[in-house]
Amino acid sequence: MKEVPMSTCEREFILKAIRDRKRIDGRQTYDYRRLKVSFGMERGCCIVDLGDTKVLAQVSGKIEEPKKNRPTEGSIIINLELSPMASPAFEPGRPTESGIEMNRILERNIRDSRAVDTESLCIVAGEKVWSIRADVHVLNDEGNIMDAASIAAITALSHFRRPDVSVMGEEVTVHSPEDRDPVPLSVHHMPVCVTFAFFDQGEFLLVDPNRSEERVMDGRMVVGMNMHREICTLMMSGGMLLVKEQVLRCSQIATVKVAEIIELIQRALDKDAQARQAGEKCGFAESVPTNKITTNRKEATAIDTTAAAQQASQVIQEAGPVDKPMSNMLVQAPGTVQIGEGLVNTWDVDDEDMESEEKEGREKSVTNGREAVATSKPTERKRPVKAGEGTVSHAEGSDSEEEETVMLFQGDDETKSTEEPDSTALMQPSNSDKPAKKKGKKKKAAQK
């Protein structure tokens, strides 16, 4: 199936964003997408997630006759498979031009830079050598297959263990893993590719282009580099022209990126080695239930919350201390719970404000008699609790609903009042000159 061409409007949008130094997925110019390296159950199996791009590499080895001109060297074969599963643009059958190019870059990056020692793969010179094959399958193409594939290939090669072999005279014995521990390949260095996408004839440069950026770009440059700042492969092609400075700049950026990536790979390898040693579960089967490798999960997106956090802390500072939380449930009998009655209203915040205003008002401009009432209140409040009289309501005009609650109350007067001293006490202030409406919301008890 031919790929649906990108609309001019989308293309312009992406290009304009790039000219404004923005990327459609919110990354910075030199940012990689989230990179994740996971391993399979078997040795030499590695899955790399780069954002939504997913690549699997599996390494296998077999014994065969060496090439005539290199009798003491084993061979490394790297095969990149672009299956139609990854993208509708990939046709089954013969590899496409871009597929061949990528495969060659991989080969040059890993084999031609002698990342894996081929001489140690020799068993009997001229007769038997190990042939190591790395199959790299692209599972999902969301852009930048090259980097993901190179990471997957070199990680899988480092993760792989080949069976140990011993030679006794003419006889060659391949030991099973139970017999002797399989041996790792000798990986001298880990070359990793970094892809740069160029736009506007090389004026703008992006690291790790995603799929839509790849479709808009003029051309790309792939820099394969290892930890020691050695360039293992360099490939620039496509219908664009660059000057020397841009090439050198890319190699500098690649240095930084490669160091980060290799550190991540190393950590993943170490973690896997530890897990294997400890006999923990590892591999795909283990990853599926924990949603490690399935795509039915959404990565948490990083959101800048500093502004919101600032605002929140400001609100908290201004708000002052919070009232003590009070139990606002009352268990009447097993299975029945009462809420509301006899408790303070926490919803009606300005209720208290009003009360305090009222209080203030009272305190300022009242007669002595009233003041006396105010001062006497605390005692009044505690009274019902101490006396165990139950809640006392001074409400006028109670309606039928209230009557019902009253009925409920009477049986349990004692327990209730002891259990809820706070609420009864707090509720008291509202007794005097409250409008009937508000009181209606509050709880009442039976008049004794």
Partner 1 sequence: MAGLEIISDQGYRIDGRRSSELRKVCARMGVFTQADGSAYIEQGNTKALATVYGPHEVRKGRGKIQHDRAVVNCQFSMATFSTGERKSRPKGDRRSQEMSMHLRQTFEAVIVTELFPRSQIDIYVQILQADGGNYCACVNAATLAVIDAGIPMKDYVCACTAGFIQDSPLLDISYVEESAGAPFLTVAMMPKSEQIVLLEMNSRLHADNMEKVLDLATQGCKDVFAVLDRHVRDHVSESHALMTAS
In the complex, least distance from residue 252 CB atom to partner 1, rounded to whole angstroms: 7
Stretch near partner 1 under the rule CB under 8 A, chosen from 118-126, 234-242, 279-287, 373-381: 234-242
φ, ψ (nearest 5 deg) of residue 3: -70, 140
Q: How far is the CB of 139 from partner 1 (least distance, A)?
A: 23
Smallest separation, CB 64 to partner 1 (Å): 20
Nearer to partner 1, 114 or 175 (CB): 114
Pick one of 57, 152, 190, 225: the residue that binds partner 1 (CB under 8 A): 225
The one among 75, 131, 140, 255 contacting partner 1 by CB under 8 A: 255
Q: Which residues contact 403 (CB under 8 A, 6 or more apart)?
A: none
Which position among 59, 194, 235, 293 is part of the footprint of partner 1 (CB under 8 A)? Answer: 235
Piece of 155-163, 174-182, 245-253, 260-268 that binds partner 1 (CB under 8 A)? 245-253
Residue of 5, 92, 239, 321 that binds partner 1 (CB under 8 A): 239
Nearest 5°: the CA angle 345, 346, 350 is 90
The least CB distance from residue 164 to partner 1, in Å, is: 29
Task: Select 223 or 445, whichever has its Cβ closest to partner 1.
Answer: 223
- Shortest distance in whole angstroms from residue 192 CB to partner 1: 13
Count of residues in contact with partner 1, rule CB under 8 A: 35
Length of the chain: 448
The nearest distance, CB 86 to partner 1, in angstroms, is 20
Establish how many alpha carbons lie within 13 A of residue 153's alpha carbon, considering only the half-sphere containing its beta carbon: 35
Find the shortest distance in angstroms from Cβ 104 to partner 1. 5
Interaction of residue 97 with partner 1, rule CB under 8 A: yes
Restricted to residues 263-282, the positions that interact with partner 1 (CB under 8 A) are: none
Rounded to the nearest whole angstrom, what is the least distance from the CB of residue 55 to partner 1 in the complex? 20
Please give the single-letter amino acid code of residue 31. Answer: D
Nearest distance, CB of residue 106 and partner 1, angstroms: 12
98-106: long-range contacts (C-beta < 8 A, 24 or more apart)? 101/235, 101/237, 102/145, 102/146, 102/149, 103/78, 103/79, 105/146, 105/150, 105/193, 105/222, 105/224, 105/233, 105/235, 106/78, 106/80, 106/136, 106/146, 106/149, 106/150, 106/153, 106/193
Residues 6+ apart with CB under 8 A from 240: 198, 201, 202, 218, 219
Collapsing DSSP states into helix, strand and coil, what is residue 121?
helix
Assess 251 for contact with partner 1 (CB under 8 A).
yes
Q: Which residues, numbered 101-160, are part of the site for partner 1 (CB under 8 A)?
A: 101, 103-104, 108, 112-114
Which two three-digit tokens encode residue 105? 């870059």
Angle between helices 349-364 and 368-387 (to 10 degrees): 130
Stretch that binds partner 1, among 30-38, 241-249, 365-373, 419-427 (CB under 8 A): 241-249
Q: 39: which strand partners? A: 46
- Measure the CA–CA gap between 216 and 12, rounded to whole angstroms: 9
The answer to whether residue 391 forms part of the interface with partner 1 (CB under 8 A) is no
82 binds partner 1 (CB under 8 A): no
Please tell me whether residue 229 binds partner 1 under the rule CB under 8 A: yes
CA-wise closest residue to 156 among 253, 79, 247: 79
* Count of Cβ atoms closer than 10 Å to residue 414 Cβ: 11
- Residue 193 as a binder of partner 1 (CB under 8 A): the answer is no
Which phi and psi angles does 320 have, rounded to 5°?
80, 180
Q: Closest approach of Cβ 234 to partner 1, in Å?
A: 4
d(CA 444, CA 214): 72
What SS3 class is residue 150? helix
- Region of 4-12, 23-31, 224-232, 309-317 interacting with partner 1 (CB under 8 A): 224-232
Q: Which of 233, 345, 405, 423 binds partner 1 (CB under 8 A)?
A: 233
What is the C-alpha separation between 58 and 137, in angstroms, rounded?
8
Select from 1, 9, 168, 248 the one that contacts partner 1 (CB under 8 A): 248
Q: Cα–Cα distance between 173 and 165 in angstroms, integer?
A: 6
Choosing from 226, 398, 405, 428, the residue that interacts with partner 1 (CB under 8 A) is 226
**How many whole angstroms separate alpha carbon 156 and alpha carbon 44?**
5
Q: Which residues bind partner 1 (CB under 8 A)?
A: 97, 100-101, 103-104, 108, 112-114, 221, 225-226, 228-244, 247-248, 251-252, 254-255
